[in-house]
Amino acid sequence: MAPEAYAFLSGKQVPLADARVGVMTHALHYGTSVFEGIRGNWNEKHGKSYIFRLREHYERLHRGASILRMELSYSADEMCQITVDLLERCGYREDVYIRPIAFKSQELIANLRLHEVQDDFCVIIIPFGDYIDGENPIRCQTSSWRRPEDTMLPTGVKITGLYTTSILAKTEAIAAGYDEAILLNNDGTVSEGSGENLFMVRDGRISTPSETDNCLLGITRDSIIVLAREELGIEVEQRRIHRSELYLADEVFLTGTAAHVTPMGELDNRKIGSGRTGPVTAKLQEAYFDAVVGNNEKYMDWCTAVVPGGG
Ligand code: PMP
C-alpha cells in the first residue's frame, strides 16, 4: 500500500490535507513561531529509518519556544514520541524531512504581544531527497543582505521571522546565477549560509564562527565538531572569521540537516583551494553520511530507529 501523508496538529494525527490553520492566525501575520528541520534517513539494508539527533532538535525547539514565551503541552521526549508514531504511521521507505512547528495559533491580529496568545504544535513529514547537490562543490555569493544580529532577533534558534532574511539572500544568489548565499554580520565578519553553518579549513586547522557570531547553533555543526575530534583528531576552533579568510582557505564547506556537508568550490568568483572537494571535507562528509544512516555503531546514540508501520 502506498504511504499516506499524515500530520500531527492540535493533539492528534490527521491526514496532511486536513491540517489547516485560519487566516487570522497570529503566527501567519507576525512570524511568531519556532520550527525545526529534521531528517529521517532510510536504511534499505536495515529496513528502518533513522531519525538523526531527534532529541537535540526538540531541545532547540523548546529553547526557541521559551524565548517566544510559549506554553507547549509536550516535553521534548513527548515530541520525540509523537514524531516516531507519525513516521511509523506514514510508512515511508525513503528519506524524509520532518518539520515540527510550534506557533502562536490564536486567531488574533492587531495584537503585538506574546503573552496570553494560545500556542499549538504541529509536525509534518514529507519525502525528501537532496537539498543541494552534495557531490559537486557549489558556487556561493557573499550576500548584500546581512545576518540579523541577536540584538535584533534571537539567532541561535529557528524563529520563523528570521527566515525572511535567509530567503531574500538565497533568492538574490540564485537570481545572480550562484547556488547559495553567504551572510556576513553587520560588522562584516562571516556568519553562515542561508540555511547552513560554515566551516573553513586552512593549514590543517578547522574553524567555524562562534555562537556570538549570530549563527544558528546547528545540530550538523555540533555533529561535525564531534566527528572532527573523534575521527580526525582535530579540535574545531570557534571564532570570528573575516570575509577574506574564506578567499584564502584551503577548503570551505557548509553544514545543515537539509544540506548535509556541502563543499564550496567558489566564492564571489574566486576558487576556494583547488575548487574541488578537499580531503578534510571529504573525510567529514563520509563520516557524517555513515553516522546519519545508522552505519556507524559508535554514533547510534544519535539515531532513533523507526520501522515503517510500527513493525
Ligand atoms: N543556519 C540556518 C540559518 C539554518 O536554517 C540551518 C538549518 N536548520 C542551519 C544553519 C543548520 O542547522 P542544522 O544543522 O541544525 O540543520
Residue whose C-alpha is closest to residue 203's, from 276, 280, 266, 271: 280
pLDDT-derived band of residue 1, with 50, 70 and 90 as boundaries?
very low
**How many whole angstroms separate alpha carbon 43 and alpha carbon 94?**
8
pLDDT of 112 reads 95
Ligand 1 pocket, residue 254 CB under 6 Å: no
**How many whole angstroms separate alpha carbon 198 and alpha carbon 196?**
7
Residue 2 has pLDDT above 70, yes or no: no
Ligand 1 pocket, residue 208 CB under 6 Å: no
- For the chain, what percent of residues have pLDDT higher than 90? 95
**SS3 per residue for 275-307:** CCCCHHHHHHHHHHHHHHCCCCHHHHHHEEEEC
Chain CA centroid to CA 73, Å: 24
pLDDT-derived band of residue 129, with 50, 70 and 90 as boundaries?
confident
Ligand 1 pocket, residue 216 CB under 6 Å: yes
Residue whose C-alpha is closest to residue 254's, from 101, 126, 246, 128: 246
Ligand 1 pocket, residue 197 CB under 6 Å: yes
Among 158, 170, 271, 298, which one carries the catalytic annotation? Answer: 158
Q: What is the mean pLDDT of the chain?
A: 96
Query: Which run of H or of E encompasses 93?
Result: none
**How many whole angstroms separate alpha carbon 126 and alpha carbon 304?**
17
**How many whole angstroms separate alpha carbon 292 and alpha carbon 224?**
12
CA–centroid distance, residue 242 to ligand 1 (Å): 21
In the chain the domains, ranked by start, together with CATH numbers, are: 6-129 (3.30.470.10), 138-277 (3.20.10.10)
Beta strand extents in 53-158 (DSSP E only)? 96-104, 119-127, 138-146
Which residue has a Cα nearest atom 11 of ligand 1?
Answer: 256
Residue type, 279: P
Beta strand extents in the chain (DSSP E only)? 6-9, 12-15, 33-35, 38-43, 48-52, 96-104, 119-127, 138-146, 180-184, 190-193, 197-202, 205-208, 237-238, 251-256, 260-267, 270-271, 303-306
158 in catalytic set: yes
**How many whole angstroms separate alpha carbon 69 and alpha carbon 144?**
32
Mutate to test the pocket of ligand 1, among 257, 260, 261, 302 (most ligand atoms within 8 A of CB): 257
CB distance 307 to 88 below 8 Å: yes
Q: Name 76's Cβ contacts closer than 8 Å, sequence gap at least 6.
A: 55, 58, 59, 61, 62
Ligand 1 pocket, residue 218 CB under 6 Å: yes
**How many whole angstroms separate alpha carbon 255 and alpha carbon 96?**
18
Q: For residue range 258-280, what is the model confidence (pLDDT) as tens digits? A: 999 999 999 999 999 999 999 99
* Lowest-confidence pick of 99-108, 112-121, 129-138, 241-250: 129-138
pLDDT-derived band of residue 134, with 50, 70 and 90 as boundaries?
low
CA distances from 42 to 87, 180, 182, 189, 307 (A): 12, 27, 30, 38, 10
pLDDT of 135 reads 75
CB distance 141 to 173 below 8 Å: yes
Which residue has a Cα nearest atom 5 of ligand 1?
Answer: 195
Q: For residue range 48-93, what is the model confidence (pLDDT) as tens digits? A: 999 999 999 999 999 999 999 999 999 999 999 999 999 999 999 9
CB distance 248 to 226 below 8 Å: no
Q: For residue range 181-213, what is the model confidence (pLDDT) as tens digits? A: 999 999 999 999 999 999 999 999 999 999 999
CB distance 269 to 140 below 8 Å: no
CB distance 117 to 26 below 8 Å: yes
CB distance 168 to 294 below 8 Å: no
Atom of ligand 1 nearest to the CA of 192: 1
Query: Which run of H or of E encompasses 206?
Result: strand 205-208
